[in-house]
């Protein structure tokens, strides 16, 4: 997990702010990068082994003490802790037992928030949950703020349960629930999504198996946009909590994505389509519901950026 600590002065008020990001994957790293850039926050890694279920409670106790120590180090008028849950080893098609294990961990992190409140009633606390619009609105088109989720998989049901749990935290904790559509981007060591897989296999002349159909539509949003949006909400002291749809309002078919990747890397892709795709439902969002996502990265530019990052990591050299 990542911990970022910053102190800031706003309206004659000194604020000591600690953000604890549970889940240092694609989205967690992006949030941390934005926080570091925008707020000059100091970044620390706290060891937190998800696999050691038996020692999770003990690890969380250590985290709780560390966070309180960090936030109290500075002489400041206000102390604020933001807890971010961007973890999720379980993917879209994860079975129920894997999701149940993850929910147990999630519950403990929410419990950490409640424990912090008990320890220091004057702490300003906010909880940021990375949910999944792609999961809870699977198969739905023209999704907007009024659309009701219709979960089709255990993954989506679990996400909704997480949202309910966060909403039940109480009025003294500000809660932010983010529902991103289809996130893409490069993260070293992480689970590669469709676009990174296409880029990698394209450069390596390998075949990519597509589990959707060529005409399946998604709303792709670059992880930097997610990191920027969530990061800004974490930094801001005046943001109101709520549920936020993070999408671009621009549907794109698999076919278009493939064509863009071929264009960017300058090579034809070798593809294999699943004749019985299990993930071929369209998922699109109304532009009217995504107006708050301003200046989002275009898909073409996002693919170029991802290809550059993959290439730099793979070959360790700058590309012109």
Partner 1 sequence: MLHLSIVVPVYSGESFLRDLLIAVENLRNSWIACDAPIQLTELIFVDDNAIDNSAVIIDEIATEHDWVVALHLSRNFGQHPATIAGILHSSGDWVVTLDEDLQHSPGNIVDMMRSLASDPADIVYGKAKQSVHENGFRDISSRISKRFIEMLSGNKDIAKASSFRLIRGVVARAAASVCAHDTYYDVALTWFTQRINVVEISMKDTRFISSGKSGYNLSALFSHARRLLFSNQIRPLRLVGLFGVFAVVLAVASALWFVGVKLIDPEAIEAQGWVSLFVLTSFLGGATLFMIGIVLEYMSGLVLHAHGKPLFFTIDRSSDLKIRAYFSEDSR
Structure tokens at 292: 């708050």
CB of 297 to partner 1, least distance (A): 17
CB of 273 to partner 1, least distance (A): 8
C-beta closer to partner 1: residue 94 or 210: 210
C-beta closer to partner 1: residue 75 or 291: 291
CB of 261 to partner 1, least distance (A): 13
Length of the chain in terms of residues written: 320
Structure tokens at 244: 């936020």
CB of 115 to partner 1, least distance (A): 42
C-beta closer to partner 1: residue 97 or 263: 263
In whole angstroms, what is the distance from residue 314 CA to residue 309 CA? 8
232 vs 48, 238, 270, CA distance in Å? 25, 11, 40
Instruction: Enumerate binding residues for partner 1 (CB under 8 A).
Output: 141-142, 144, 213-215, 217, 249-251, 253, 255-256, 259, 282, 284, 286-289
R_g of the chain computed on alpha carbons? 20
**Residues forming a β-bridge with 209:** 272
Helices (H) and strands (E) in the chain, counts: 9, 13
243 vs 126, 166, 173, 275, 289, CA distance in Å? 13, 11, 14, 37, 12
CB of 288 to partner 1, least distance (A): 4
C-beta closer to partner 1: residue 117 or 286: 286
C-beta closer to partner 1: residue 259 or 313: 259
Structure tokens at 33: 């990068």
């Amino acid at each position: 997990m990542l911990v970022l600590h910053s102190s800031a002065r706003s309206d004659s008020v000194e604020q000591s702010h600690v953000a604890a990001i549970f889940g240092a994957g694609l989205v967690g790293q992006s949030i941390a990068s934005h926080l570091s850039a925008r707020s000059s926050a100091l970044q620390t890694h706290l060891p937190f082994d998800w696999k050691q279920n038996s020692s999770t409670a003990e690890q969380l106790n250590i985290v709780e003490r560390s966070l309180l120590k960090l936030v109290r180090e500075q002489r400041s008028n206000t102390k604020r802790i933001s807890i971010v849950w961007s973890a999720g080893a379980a993917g879209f098609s994860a079975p129920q037992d894997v999701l149940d294990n993850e929910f147990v961990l999630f519950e403990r992190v929410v419990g950490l928030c409640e424990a912090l409140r008990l320890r220091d009633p004057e702490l300003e606390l906010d909880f940021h949950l990375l949910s999944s619009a792609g999961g809870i609105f699977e198969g739905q088109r023209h999704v907007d703020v009024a659309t009701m989720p219709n979960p089709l998989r255990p993954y989506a049901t679990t996400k909704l349960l997480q949202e309910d749990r966060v909403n039940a935290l109480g009025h003294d904790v500000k809660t932010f629930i983010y529902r991103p559509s289809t996130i893409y981007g490069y993260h070293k060591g992480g689970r590669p999504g469709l676009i990174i897989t296409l880029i990698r296999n394209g450069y390596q002349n390998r075949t990519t198996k597509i589990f959707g159909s060529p005409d399946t539509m998604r709303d792709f949003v670059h992880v930097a946009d997610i990191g920027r949006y969530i990061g800004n909400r974490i930094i801001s002291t005046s943001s109101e909590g709520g549920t936020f749809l993070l999408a671009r309002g621009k549907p794109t078919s698999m076919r278009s994505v493939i064509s863009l990747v071929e264009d960017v890397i300058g090579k034809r892709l070798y593809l294999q389509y699943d004749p019985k795709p299990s993930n071929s439902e369209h998922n699109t969002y109304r532009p009217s519901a995504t107006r708050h996502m301003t200046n989002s990265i275009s898909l073409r530019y996002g693919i170029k950026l991802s290809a550059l990052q993959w290439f730099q990591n793979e070959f360790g050299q700058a590309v012109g």
